[in-house]
Amino acid sequence: MSDKEVTPMENLEESRLRMCDKFAHVTGSDSAVAQCYLAENEWDMETALNSFFEAHMESVFDLEDTEERKNRPLSKRKDAGPPEKAHSPEPKRRMISETDCIDLTEDEPACTSSTGSKATGTDEGDHKLSLVSWNVDGLDTLSIVERARGLCSYLALYTPDVVFLQELVPSYIQYLKKRAVSYLFVEGNEDGYFTGLMLKKSRVKLHKSEIVSYPTTQMMRNLLCAQVTFFGQELYLMTSHLESCKDQAAERMKQLKVVLQKMKEAPDNMTVIFGGDTNLRDPEVAKVGGLPSGVTDVWEELGKPEHCRFTWDTKINSNKGVSYVSRCRFDRLYLRPATTGPKMTPEHMALIGMEKLDCGRYTSDHWGIYCTFTT
């Protein structure tokens, strides 16, 4: 025989090598670390990933909390000066910078969105829905506190009604919850890494949420859905992080079909918005038959603005430190307007997070998407 016969042992070795590659890609580690964790967990991918995250992420923000306590000013003594002065603090100032964490603990941040309507206003423009979708790369621990501060800065600047987040880890979302108390958080998991929704309490009311499983995922991916009301309009919000890596196209397309089916099945009176890190290539969308009737790609609907095309761009974004240039539209928004009642349409889209922080890195290796919708 000219071709060497492949033995079951060789098949097993090749399978495990592929698992190591996937583990290393998801965690940002190397093959040696991947092999160690997979072997210790009997080559169960999900268990191994959980073990890795628990070991590496629990204390990521410990230093930040310690510094906050250390720098917290001591309470003034009651006899330090006249009573009227001792109990008359200076007016609060809200500053947005790349290094200072933005305190989002007030019910309504004191800044305005880029659409010009105040978060607390009642003008007509205020009934526009504003949304951010962002893979925040919580798996990357390098400068993660500074990068989380950067995210908080953008939330305070744009005051979005809805936020879709991908690649969260427990410590990252706990950090956000401490600072963004004007938002309700809905999480796609409790451990490992996962997606999340942030809903502005004063403007978006949550009715119910659900997590839809992807049965054959090897990367702990799922679909997070929430039914909400926004100024009397029924919305069905969906976010996901579809399977990563070029060689996972088949699994990614399976997951896309689940997303599109859920969008089609939503009640007619609901506007459906899906957003997230899809990892999609355009041919993959075509291979599943394209988007269903009534479902549109928001970027395409807005005329394919070139400045919003690439959400993963190693030509500009240096966070991963790779030598190659890769420019892809991995992060996408899909819209299915309600077929009864007011119809929501996309109005404006921009990429955010394109400024370097003082630490020399960007908020994430992905750009965030900021979008507004109107009826």
**Catalytic residue numbers, as ranges:** 277
Distance CA 54, CA 264 (A): 37
Any idea which residue has 């169960």 for tokens?
Answer: 44
Q: Which of 267, 254, 159 is nearest to 212 (CA)?
A: 254
Distance CA 277, CA 256 (A): 11
The tokens for 145 are: 């506190």
Any idea which residue has 């000066």 for tokens?
Answer: 81
Distance CA 8, CA 163 (A): 47
The widest CA-to-CA distance across the chain, in whole angstroms, is: 98
**Coil, strand or helix: which one is 170?**
helix
CA distances for 205 relative to 263, 272, 373, angstroms: 20, 15, 17
H helices then E strands: how many in the chain? 10, 14
